[in-house]
Amino acid sequence: MWKGSSVSTQRSIINLLLSKIAACYLLVAMCVLLTAAIASHYVAEKRQQEEVSILRTYVSQIIAFDHLSVADRSNLILQYLADKRSFFSGAELKPENSASTLTWGDNVGVPIELDLPGFQLRVTLLPTAIISNQVLKESGWFIIALALQLLLLFGLLKILMRRKLSARVNRVVRDLSGIDCNNPVPIQLEASLSQITEYREVMSSVNRLVISLRSSREELIAMGSEADARIKSKMAALEEKNRTLIELNQKLSKLANTDALTQVYNRTRFDELFAEYVLLSKRRHERLSVLLIDLDDFKRVNDVHGHQIGDHVLQHAAQCIKQVIGSEGLVARWGGEEFAVILPYYDIVLAEGMAERVRATLASSRFEKEAIHVTTSIGVAELDDDDTCDELLKRADDALYNAKGEGRNRVILAYSPASRQFEIEALDDGEFIEVLDAEPEPNRCE
């Protein structure tokens, strides 16, 4: 890009200078020619006047020759006028006491009457422009020399400019194009050009700009580094605050949604999640079951072993339930020694199996050093199309109450009113809806 620009700049500068010089020279030449034309006109008029005066003197001398006849005198005068045809175009000569008139030329021009003794002479002068042209023709060599001088001067200037000016312009352009904007350095002056005032002034201005650019760049880099450091510091502080805020939010969320003792969902969070699952199950027409689990005779554990041991038993029981349920459902502390389990996509038969696994696991477990044995009563209910949250929980709670009333350590299913008739018919056929577990081998739930 720089190379092309420098070439076009060189050509434009040379052509501009040459055209200016040629224009000035032509203007001077035109002024000289105009002056020469005006001077030739003035010279022509002056020479005509001189020739007329010479003619008057010459004729007076001819007339003074008494030994010449009138005819000889007349012939001499006309011969003289013929010799001066560059100034006179014609003449009429009439001697006194003579009826004949002698003429010469065509008499085209400016007539002049000369009163001479013994003669009447009328001469016709050539127009001044003709004489001026003659004067200009005489100066033709001057015009030719002027034109040759112009051509020679034009050629010499063009050669000198191409050799000297182009090289200097190229050198300046090369120096300017060598400036690195990322690391600007002042340009060193060329020794061969340092004597040129204009070159020194231009390069001095360029170096001031380069120094200013370098200073501005250094300031900008310093400001950028400082700004980066501040931004990094602010970002680090912000990230630390964000981490602290996230941790606090997690802790707050855990405190708000988790039971502090058993580390499962609390009753408030259970109510929220249970309402959402019921709504989704109805909207998607999917199965949903709920388990209500109660630790049997838990008051006796507190009375015999103390409330601290009782809290430990609650913690272990919650972890056992959570371990059995796994990712199949959600476990929450319902209140006291009661727990609730939400089982999405489970019908009452699958829910019954899951409840039995929970009951059997807790029944086979031993807690604390005292090997405390705890059994559970579980009520199971499945969501019906017409159920509300409260109605579903009421049926599961009633089933839990029935399990307590029928001897504890068992699972009772709560059927919806629509399936009540099917339950009665099943009882008539000798089928049972509760599940009794035989005495299992002791097992400790981690």
All residues at 6 or more sequence positions from 156 whose CB lies less than 8 Å from its CB, including other chains: none
Q: What are the boundaries of each domain within the chain?
A: 2-137, 181-257, 267-436
Ordered per-residue pLDDT tens for the chain, 446 residues: 444 444 444 445 566 666 777 777 777 777 877 777 677 777 777 777 777 777 777 777 777 676 777 677 777 777 777 776 666 666 766 676 665 666 666 666 667 766 666 666 767 766 665 655 665 566 666 667 777 877 787 777 777 766 666 666 677 777 777 776 777 777 776 666 666 777 677 778 888 888 888 788 788 888 888 888 889 989 998 999 888 888 888 878 777 889 989 999 999 999 999 999 999 999 999 999 999 999 998 999 998 889 999 999 999 999 999 999 999 999 999 988 999 999 999 999 999 999 999 999 999 988 877 788 899 999 999 999 889 999 999 999 999 999 999 989 999 999 876 655 555 555 555 444 444 443 444 444 65
Superfamily grouping for domain 267-436 = Reverse transcriptase/Diguanylate cyclase domain (3.30.70.270)
Number of H helices, E strands in the chain: 12, 10
The string of pLDDT tens digits covering residues 150-192 is: 778 777 777 776 666 666 667 777 777 777 677 777 777 666 6
* Short-list 219, 234, 370, 343, CA closest to 289: 343
Does the annotation mark 51 as catalytic? no
* DSSP letters spanning 102-146: EEEE---SEEEEEEETTEEEEEEEPPHHHHHHHHHHHTHHHHHHH
Query: Burial code of 123-139, b = ≥16 C-beta within 10 A, e = fewer?
Result: bbbbebeebbeebbeee
Extended strands (E) in 208-363: 288-295, 330-335, 338-344
Q: Which residue has the tokens 């003289």?
A: 80
Q: From 277, 36, 238, select the one nearest 146 (Cα to Cα).
A: 36
Strand order in the sheet with 110-116: 102-105, 88-95, 119-125, 110-116
Residue 132, token pair as written in the block: 């001026």
Closest CA to 93 of 48, 46, 55, 127: 55
The answer to whether 126 touches 91, Cβ cutoff 8 Å, is no
Catalytic residue among 51, 92, 337, 382: 337
378 phi, psi to nearest 5 deg: -130, 135
Model confidence pLDDT, tens digit, residues 40-84 = 777 777 777 777 777 777 777 777 676 777 677 777 777 777 776
